[in-house]
Amino acid sequence: MKTAAKVFIILGMIIGFWMILPLIFGGIALSQMSTKKPSVGISICVLLFCSLLGGVFLLCTKDEDYVVKA
């Protein structure tokens, strides 16, 4: 789920490169995804401005997906 969200967010950023909001919210979500689950607000902004599927996948992911395995 996490990988699918990343792929759709990146695709949304590429398609909407000429608008500023997909770049901002996509970048914030991708940077937060590397360490922890993005907040619900960022996920909804990604859903609205960047990628519909990416935002849905972000909202549906579990906290266990973001645990770093040693």
Cβ–Cβ < 8 Å for 58, 5: yes
Could you give the CA distance from residue 20 to residue 6 in angstroms, rounded to a whole number? 18
Give just the sign of the alpha carbon dihedral 41, 44, 46, 48.
Answer: negative
Residue type for 14, please? Answer: I
Chain-centroid distance of CA 57 in Å reads 8
pLDDT value of residue 45: 94
In the numeric block, which tokens belong to residue 38? Answer: 């993005």
pLDDT value of residue 47: 94
Instruction: Assign 69 to helix, strand or coil.
Output: coil
Residue 70 confidence (pLDDT) above 70: no
Mean pLDDT of 30-46: 91
